[in-house]
Amino acid sequence: MNRNDITEKIITAKVAKGITWESVAKKVGLSKEWVTAGCLGQMTFDGKQAKIIGRIFGLTAEEQKWLQVVPYKGSLPTPVPTDPLIYRWYEIVSVYGTTIKELIHEEFGDGIMSAIDFSMDIVRQPDPKGDRVNVVLSGKFLPYKQY
């Protein structure tokens, strides 16, 4: 048994029962972004959360334990993703990567935007010309230190 087995079981239950990620997140009491990432095998739940998740998706006690083990992260099967929705994000990094780098350094100096002390919020923004996906990424700036 491994974490992938749990992820597959969760997704299979989700499809069979028609569960939404948003409803799962509400029951867990955290954002839909973090909870979904956890269910997809990218984050680590604590015991109480694992129990809630387990009840929703019908996981055994042992399977709930796996939700509490830190997983080997990375959710994509190839270095360059083939799925069009995910590729567009890869393309943003490819086209705007050096721009993001320049502007963060211009504002903050040498360092990075953390992908760990990080949160993400995905919302629908109504627009008469076609609704938009708005995503707010928030990461702590971590300066390179001299030593």
Cβ atoms within 10 A of the Cβ of 122, count? 13
Contacts for 70 with CB less than 8 Å, ≥ 6 apart? 44
Look up 33 and say whether it is catalytic: no
Least distance (Å) between residue 49 CB and a copy of itself: 8
The CA-atom distances, in angstroms, between 120 and each of 12, 23, 65 are 25, 18, 26
Look up 91 and say whether it is catalytic: yes
Determine which one of 8, 22, 55, 91 is catalytic.
Answer: 91
Determine which one of 8, 55, 75, 88 is catalytic.
Answer: 88
Least distance (Å) between residue 124 CB and a copy of itself: 5
Select from 58, 10, 15, 18 the least CA-distant residue to 35.
10
Q: Does 60 help bind a copy of itself (rule: CB under 8 A)? A: no
Q: Does 93 help bind a copy of itself (rule: CB under 8 A)? A: yes
Q: Does 51 help bind a copy of itself (rule: CB under 8 A)? A: no
Where in the sequence numbering do the catalytic residues fall?
Answer: 88, 91, 114
